[in-house]
Amino acid sequence: MTRKTTTRKTRVFSISFPEPMASQVEAIAQKEGRTTSELFREAFRAYRTARRHSILDAARAEAATRGPSPYTEDDVERLVHEVRQEMYEERMREMQRKTA
């Protein structure tokens, strides 16, 4: 008889808290009707979101110091079109060289 092995879809982490904080964790989880794992998953999601916002805020602040872009939306569209056209033409030249 062969045993079918399954891959675990979660990982286990071991964390420690001072007793007063651990009691608070358990009390909150019980009050909200969730497990401590669910509580920590939610806490991590909130941390990750806050971290992303922090990174974006820093990027916005840095961009604000540079001033407005000299390009308009039409300039960007035109430049993208030009680059794509150049790439297309280069591919066509390469194909012609290969078939010649």
According to the model, what pLDDT value does residue 1 have? Answer: 62
Domains held by the chain: number: 2
Whether 32 contacts 39, CB under 8 Å: yes
According to the model, what pLDDT value does residue 91 have? Answer: 93
pLDDT above 90 as % of the chain: 71
pTM over 0.85: no
Taking only Cα atoms into account, the Rg of the chain, rounded to an integer number of angstroms, comes to 27
Q: Which residue has the tokens 């001033």?
A: 67
Return the structure tokens found at 47.
């941390």
Domain assignment present for residue 14? The answer is no
- The pLDDT of 58-76, averaged and rounded, is 87
Domain with 60, as residue range(s), is: 19-68
In angstroms, the Cα distances linking 61 to 49, 55, 57, 64, 75 are 18, 10, 6, 5, 24
Same domain, 62 and 27: yes
